[in-house]
């Protein structure tokens, strides 16, 4: 199992002009990986990032940011095309960076909680199925897998729980497309996070570790012992990344509604989170 930290802990948007030092920081803290949240591809020089990661001795994971203008299941041609172009960039970047996955809620857009008619929802679902099959097949050709992240009901109306994600995967019919489980979203939406992990089984391609208040893993109400046991039972040996937040990164704090201090500082989220997770998941 490899452990990583998401760049959202410290910065937004990530840019290779100003944030390459996070690679050395992650390495010094004992992480295997830095997960780069790609908000604007124009700000990231992939060859520069690859060389800097190699020099720091850490791997890089590609995490997608799917806002309203990057909706792969949109009926609007321009919006769909922007999402497709962005996802292709992420897949190509992941291949160049040796990132085994591209993760995120790429089936739709974040911030789209709507009560649609059954017919409209089915049409949207079918667009997601078709496009994820297409881009999953493309990713597979590049040696990359897509990890779809269920989000809580306040962030999407499409995939909130593992069972919905598995239903989508059944229709997508592509082994290169699996699930990205986030303990924060699971704590809000699943009846039993450990049971959901067992149902997801081998289709879990990535895990985000975050507390129920989005703070330091291990300091809140998430059932970490149950999650650790379930991940062990399904034989998960992939990537576990801390994705937590503080008000210091204001754009992200606004996006995820962080209005108060939930950790002493940014470095504490990463360092204390890793100190908690590593023995829990590897012993």
Active site amino acids: 149, 243
Write the CA distances from 160 to 83, 185, 205, 239, 260, integer angstroms: 20, 8, 17, 21, 26
Cis amide leading into 273 (omega within 30): no
What are the tokens at 250?
A: 């204001």
Look at residue 36 and give its three-state secondary structure.
Answer: strand
Cα separations in angstroms, 217 against 112, 115, 130, 213, 260: 27, 33, 36, 9, 17
User: Tokens 């012992």 sit at which residue?
Assistant: 225
Cα 244 to Cα 256: distance, rounded to the nearest angstrom: 10
Q: If DSSP codes are grouped into helix, strand and coil, which group holds residue 148?
A: strand
Q: Can you tell me the distance from the alpha carbon of 257 to that of 250, in angstroms, rounded to the nearest whole number?
A: 10
As given in the structure block, the two tokens for residue 63 are 């995490």
Separation CA 238–CA 231 (nearest Å): 10
- Using the 8-state DSSP alphabet, how is residue 207 labeled? E
Residue 42 DSSP label: G
Is 260 exposed, middle or buried (CB count within 10 Å of its CB: 0-12, 13-18, 19+)? exposed
């Amino acid at each position: 199992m490899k452990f990583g930290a998401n760049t959202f802990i410290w910065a937004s948007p990530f840019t290779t002009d100003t944030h390459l030092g996070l690679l050395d920081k992650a390495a010094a803290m004992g992480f295997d990986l830095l997960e780069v949240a790609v908000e604007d591809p124009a700000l990231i020089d992939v060859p520069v990032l690859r060389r800097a990661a190699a020099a720091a001795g850490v791997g890089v994971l590609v995490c997608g940011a799917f806002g309203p203008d990057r909706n792969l299941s949109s009926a609007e041609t321009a919006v769909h095309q922007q999402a497709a172009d962005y996802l292709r960039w992420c897949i190509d970047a992941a291949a160049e960076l040796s990132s085994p996955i591209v993760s995120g809620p790429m089936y739709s857009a974040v911030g789209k909680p709507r009560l649609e008619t059954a017919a409209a929802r089915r049409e949207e679902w079918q667009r997601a199925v078709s496009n994820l099959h297409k881009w999953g097949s493309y990713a597979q050709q590049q040696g990359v897998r897509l990890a779809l992240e269920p989000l809580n009901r306040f962030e999407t109306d499409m995939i909130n729980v593992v069972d919905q994600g598995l239903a989508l995967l059944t229709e997508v019919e592509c082994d290169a497309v699996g699930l990205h489980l986030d303990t924060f979203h699971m704590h809000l939406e699943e009846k039993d996070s450990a049971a959901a992990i067992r149902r997801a089984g081998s289709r879990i391609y990535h895990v985000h570790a975050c507390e129920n208040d989005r703070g330091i893993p291990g300091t809140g109400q998430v059932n970490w012992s149950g999650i650790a046991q379930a991940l062990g039972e399904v034989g998960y040996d992939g990537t576990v990344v801390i994705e937590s937040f503080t008000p210091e990164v204001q754009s992200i704090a606004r996006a995820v509604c962080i209005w108060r201090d939930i950790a002493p500082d940014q470095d504490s989220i990463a360092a204390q989170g890793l100190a908690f997770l590593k023995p829990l998941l590897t012993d």
